[in-house]
Chain A
Amino acid sequence: MERFLWLVPALPALGFIINGVLSLAGSRTANGPSRGLSGFFAVLFPLVSFILVVKLHLDLQAAQESVRSINQNLGLNLAVPTSITQELWSWIATGDINLSFGFAFDGLTSVMLLFITGIGALIHLYSIGYMAHDRGFARFMAYMNLFLASMIVLVLGNGPVVTFLGWEGVGLCSYLLIGFWHHDNANGDAARKAFLVNRVGDLGFLLGLFLLWQIVGASTPLTYEAISAWFRDPANATTLATGGVAAMLTLATLLLFLGCTGKSAQIPLVTWLPDAMAGPTPVSALIHAATMVTSGVFLLARMSDVFAHAPITMQVIAWVGAATAAWAAITGLFQNDIKKILAYSTVSQLGFMFLAAGVGAFDSGLFHVFTHAFFKAVLFLGAGAVIHALGGEQDVRKMGGLVKKLPLTFAAMFAGWYAITGLPLGAGFWSKDLILEKVLAQGGPVLYGIALATAVVTAVYMTRLMILTFWSPSRVDHEVEHHIHEAPLSMQVPLWILGIGSLFAGFVWAGMMPGWDWFPRQFAYVVQPAQDLLVHGEHHGPSVLLLAGVGVGAAIAGILLAFGLFKAGRFGEHGTGELSGAARAWTLLWDHVHTVFGIVPTRIVSWILDKICQPLLNGIVRLLAYLVELVGLVVQWLQRSRLRVNLAMSVFGLVAVLIILARDLL
């Protein structure tokens, strides 16, 4: 089976090529490329990838199980296989450096790939309906396929360098898809912003990687397996304990975390994600909610052995996560664009995941990644269906009363809302309560307080969204109101599946019920050593049930608060203008920070370069050019197209060469 590992990313890549060719070939025809053909391939390949991933997952399980049973029956102690690997080719081989391009499929990869390809395939299906009337249908599908291929490479890569390839690939696709409707300049600006902000993070990733390589030494191959083994090896503990190496490791992990903040939209590189909503809604669902933005959390878990040795970085991650969660949740309260609300919600939920990872609960963070992928995807797709029904209207102040008009969409979004607020037994309930529990136990009461308050605010803004969209009296324009219709079947099916997933996906790790822990068992051997290193001894805090009760209480409090506030008609649901005053300042807080600390210094340096360095360099270049011209004038005299003179010059040259050659004889 490991021989077919490469097919998992190759199939969507093939889809990209086919759709790219279709797009180019059909671009000059009257109706554009065939939508049926393009859509068929676009959905088929992710689906086959998903089936392959399932098969790989079962194979890995079976292999591990068989070795375990042999060990048990015969009393042996054979190593349980941890991953299915495939080395495709030697990538860079110079001197000490020997990088191989290969894939590694282990427990962590398998759970990530299961939902990436699964939800990815569903969102591709949804896109067929959503983009049906768009001229660039095939181009859209090509980008989506390319994104999926890059995301799979990111997750499946056997080392950080291969991951970086996918990391850049998803960044590129994100840029292409945010600016998909490039006729509007604002969309292009948003795409460029996303690209540039991500670039800052990518620089951090690269520098962190270089530093990390310095620490482990060039003789260690740059694969996750080797890096983890190096950090787990007790022989290296003394090396890590020395002051210089410890400081270097802290810097390296901080830089890697900067890369994560770029991709996952955390403070300080948070600003691009809300703007990224300029892209089509399926893009927001797939890239900017379910998959790409979670790659930061994935990387933390993947390199948990490295991060566990840098306690300062872990503190930073926890606090950045908490701050982002709180800031983005409050920002979500002020937004009137339905997709912006969900975007800030995504940022906030990502903050939760980083908070969990920062306190040393990598598996809980990943669990939230998993459940969040379901409920945020369904919320985005539901929002897309609403926007589709209202003919492109995104302002929640111009919605309302849609519960009767769009009952199916409402049902799906209700499932998403139920999950994200953390009401009992929904997907978000399990993961969020697990995070809150771990934060209290391992991070202390302050972080727990922030997280709990954020949970309340989350319930408030999500309920506000539901009230303004579905439950309040209709404020839809009359001519729009006639055309309201349920989305086509291709959009409905993903909504139902993901809606059901939002309600029940949490049962893969129902923390309170013993034995319901399928999810963390899959990759325990990846993150458990790091978590054991970070947590010292048993923690005796409040009981799990009490904490769950507090969490549910927070959700219900938020919901009741929202009903109290918005049923009374406050929070500007009748206005139409842009944000203003404090709300605007709060929303754009990090844009202002970027301006002051990033853009203004860059402008100053640019001004200096433009006004001082450039004229100087220009002058030098002009001087050189003038000198060349002068020499040319002299030489021109010799080149009067007289053969004999030219020949005589050549003989002079010959004499000079001979003098050099025969210098020993002279």
Chain B
Amino acid sequence: MGFAMIAQVYFWIFAAIAAACALGVMLSRHPINGAMSLIGTMVSLAGIFSLIASPFMATLQVLVYAGAVMMLVVFVIMVLNCAKDHSTPLFDGAGLFGVLPAAALGALLVRVFVGLDKQATVAMNPQAPRGDVDAISKTLFGAGQHTGGWALLFLAVGILLLTAIVGAVLLAKRHLDSPSEPATIEGGH
């Protein structure tokens, strides 16, 4: 059993977990179950990322997504403990209507991917560099290039995150005009 075979096996395991957990997100009753399923999807996706030579992204997936973002979601779910979804039916008319465009989009995507797969031009490129920290940071900051790489965009994302934090603080305050009022939930951010 060579490396290629092992990679194949791991891919199938991760893919099965990811797909199952995605269905779990879609169908679970309580948000906390959904969040846990989502974390499962994310972690197994991190495994797939490392299988396709992207170790840096795999690390970020676990650290930022499964770690920070989902921790935030779970935290808010626990703060709003009354967020159960018992009273409403899982499938109602409007919801089932929503499945139709999703299915249409899926059919379109599958059709395109299968079509592309038959063309020889989209074969895997064995020479493609690994997405490790070294390669990504060089690309990101334009080392050895005439352009500045993605540095400007990177800074813009920093500003975006800052703006998002300020916006979140302001949104979560009870009243904008009474800042002295004690905040109870904002600490979570």
Contact = CB atoms under 8 A, between A and B. Distances in A.
A and B: real partners? yes
Interface of A: 642, 644-645, 647-649, 651-652, 654-655, 658-659, 662, 665-666
Contacts of A654: 101, 105
Contacts of B105: 651, 654-655, 658
B179 to A, nearest CB: 32
A648 to B, nearest CB: 4
Closest 10 CB pairs of A and B: A651-B101, A648-B98, A652-B101, A655-B104, A665-B112, A648-B101, A645-B94, A644-B94, A655-B105, A665-B115
A256 to B, nearest CB: 66
Given A665-B115, A665-B116, A666-B115, A655 B97 contact: no
A659 B104 CA distance: 10
12 contacts: A642-B94, A645-B97, A648-B98, A648-B100, A649-B101, A651-B104, A651-B105, A655-B105, A658-B105, A658-B108, A665-B112, A666-B115
Q: Which of the four size classes fits the interface of chain B?
A: 10 to 19
Nearest to B112: A665
A75 B97 CA distance: 100
Contacts of B94: 642, 644-645, 648
A231 B25 CA distance: 88
Contacts of A658: 105, 108
Nearest to B115: A665
Contacts of B102: 651
Contacts of A649: 101
Contacts of B98: 644-645, 647-648, 651
B111 interface: yes
Contacts of A644: 94-95, 97-98
A649 B100 CA distance: 10
A651 B102 CA distance: 7
Interface string B1-42: 000000000000000000000000000000000000000000
Contacts of A642: 94
A645 B92 CA distance: 11
A666 B116 CA distance: 9
A648 B108 contact: no
Interface string B46-64: 0000000000000000000
Contacts of A659: 108
Interface string B65-102: 00000000000000000000000000000110110111
Nearest to B111: A666
Q: Is chain B's interface secondary structure helix, strand, loop, or mixed overall?
A: helix
Nearest to A650: B101
Interface in B157-177: none
A662 B112 contact: yes
A648 B94 CA distance: 9
A648 B97 contact: yes
Given A648-B98, A654-B101, 5 more contacts: A644-B95, A651-B101, A651-B105, A654-B105, A655-B105
B115 A655 contact: no
Which of B95, B98, B116 is most buried by chain A, counting CB atoms within 10 A of its CB? B98
A597 B108 CA distance: 71
A648 B92 CA distance: 14
A655 B116 contact: no
A103 B143 CA distance: 65
Interface-central residue, B101, B111, B115, by most chain A CB under 10 Å: B101
B19 to A, nearest CB: 21
Contacts of B95: 644
A666 B108 CA distance: 9
A35 to B, nearest CB: 60
Nearest to A656: B104
A658 B102 CA distance: 13
B51 to A, nearest CB: 27
A645 B98 CA distance: 7
In this complex, which of A644, A648, A651, A662 has the most chain B Cβ atoms within 10 angstroms of its Cβ? A648
Contacts of A645: 94, 97-98
Nearest to B106: A655
Given A651-B102, A652-B104, A655-B104, A666 B97 contact: no
Contacts of B112: 662, 665-666
A135 to B, nearest CB: 57
A477 B32 CA distance: 109
B8 to A, nearest CB: 27
Contacts of A652: 100-101, 104
Contacts of A647: 98
Contacts of B115: 665-666
Given A644-B95, A645-B94, A662 B101 contact: no
Nearest to B107: A655
Q: Of residues B100, B108, B112, B116, which shows the largest number of chain A Cβ atoms within 10 Å of its Cβ?
A: B108
Nearest to B116: A665
B122 to A, nearest CB: 11
A431 to B, nearest CB: 83
A91 B7 CA distance: 75
A656 to B, nearest CB: 9
Contacts of B116: 665
Contacts of A648: 94, 97-98, 100-101
A654 B94 CA distance: 18
Contacts of B108: 655, 658-659, 662
B95 to A, nearest CB: 7
A666 B112 CA distance: 6
A665 B109 CA distance: 11
A183 B136 CA distance: 85
A652 B111 CA distance: 17
B107 to A, nearest CB: 9
A658 B111 CA distance: 12
A635 to B, nearest CB: 15
A195 to B, nearest CB: 62
B3 to A, nearest CB: 33
B94 to A, nearest CB: 5
Contacts of B111: 666
Interface in B100-152: 100-102, 104-105, 108, 111-112, 115-116
A642 B104 CA distance: 21
A117 B80 CA distance: 88
A644 B98 CA distance: 7
A50 B105 CA distance: 81
Contacts of A662: 108, 112
A115 B19 CA distance: 97
Contacts of A666: 111-112, 115
